[in-house]
Amino acid sequence: MRVICQDCGNTEAFDVRVFRCPCGGPWEPQQRKDFDESLIDQDSHGVWRYKDLLGADRMDSPVVLGAGWTPLVEARWMGEKIFFKMEYLSPTASFKDRGTEVEVSYLQAEGIKKVVEDSSGNAGASMAAYAARAGIQATIFAPESASPAKLAQIQVYGANLIKIPGPRSEAAGAVLRAVEEGTVYASHAYNPVYLLGQQTAAWEIWEQLGGRAPGAVVIPVGQGGLLLGIWFGFKRLMHAGLVEKIPKMFAVQPEIFSPINDAVMKGKGEIKEFMSTGRSIADGLAIAQPVRGKRILQALKE
């Protein structure tokens, strides 16, 4: 699998032990412009429905818990017809499962036996569940102030939970120190295979709407993996001539913790670390400086 650095343009064959480019930028999958509808597995009802379209090699024996193909439910909101993509109907009740299912399948194929991840809850629970399924030992670094229910969910899957005092950024710093010791960083923020899995949300929406794109997609954003996955997915459909244009992308953040909104409103080309005036109950969105900030801003601008 070939990956490209969003910051410097460097391309390499992906090595799961090298979680980011030497320049410090995050890897992302090289974007494809083809999409052959005949390769959709009509007998599969999950992310592996698109196995032959993902572009990741060595995925013949995937780890399966049932992520993907969540319902698209029609409703009315302020007099308008809208659709809810019911991602909480995922194995660990989080949209992160569709990315994690593909990511952990790749890690298993690479023979990885031990991983670390940092999370405020949802990503850690997702990684803990899938690592258990794949027989991979997972250690999750999480803020000690994270939701007790989320921390319990991480532990119930058998992962080693390490609670870190202080803000979310301290957990990210702690996991990087563990990576320096040689453990594979199975990061939902950095891993490009995770983004491959998140593309499937766009393709499901397209199929569930009868082969068309919605006018807009509204997405809660912390690290932005789902927003970028949907953006990549619809871009690929557009390049293949299957939709006329990419939906408008709306990134939703808590008012008191909104680095993306701050950058957009001030016309910045990158997202600087955001200093919050308080704590949001939406702790999963409390990311002061998203790893893929430049790409998030590009997606919103386009």
Calculate mean pLDDT across residues 241-255. 95
Whole-number pLDDT of residue 270: 86
Neighbours of 181 (CB within 10 A): 7
What per-residue confidence (pLDDT) applies to 147? 87
Rounded to an integer, the average pLDDT of 14-42 is 95
Strands 11-13, 2-5: pairing kind: antiparallel
Distance CA 146, CA 143 (A): 5
Tell me the per-residue pLDDT of 84-94, one tens digit each, with 9 for 90 and over.
999 999 999 99
Q: What angle do CA 102, 103, 107 make, to 5 degrees?
A: 120
The pLDDT value recorded for residue 299 is 94
Gap between the Cα atoms of 206 and 83, Å rounded: 12
Per-residue pLDDT of 119-128, as tens digits, reads 888 999 999 9
Residue 56 CB contacts under 8 Å (≥ 6 apart), including other chains: 1, 29, 102, 106, 193, 196
Q: Are 127 and 94 in contact (CB under 8 A)?
A: no
pLDDT of residue 60: 81
Dump pLDDT digits (tens) for 55-81: 887 788 899 999 999 999 999 999 999
Q: Is residue 118 within 8 Å of residue 172, measured between CB atoms? A: yes
With contact defined as beta carbons under 8 Å apart, do 161 and 187 qualify?
no
- Average pLDDT along the chain: 93
> What is the rounded CA–CA span in Å between residue 70 and residue 89?
6
Structure confidence at residue 77 (pLDDT): 93
Residue 120 is predicted with a pLDDT of: 81
Angle at 167 between CA 283 and CA 158, to 5 degrees: 70
Q: Is 290 helix (H, G, I), strand (E, B) or coil?
A: coil
> CA–CA separation, 82 vs 71, rounded Å?
13
User: Cα separation of 138 and 156, whole Å?
Assistant: 12
**Higher per-residue pLDDT: 262 or 231:** 231
User: Any idea which of 33-37, 144-148, 190-194 has the lowest mean pLDDT?
Assistant: 144-148
Min mean pLDDT across 95-109, 131-145, 162-176, 220-234 is at 162-176
Q: What is the pLDDT confidence band of residue 168, given thresholds at 50, 70 and 90?
A: confident
- How confident is residue 43, by pLDDT bands cut at 50, 70 and 90? very high
The DSSP secondary-structure symbol of 20 reads B
Predicted pLDDT of residue 20: 95
Cα angle vertex 95, ends 165, 192, to 5°? 80
Whether 268 shows a pLDDT value over 90: the answer reads: no
Least trusted range by pLDDT, from 96-105, 178-187, 219-228? 178-187
- pLDDT at 198 exceeding the cut of 80: yes
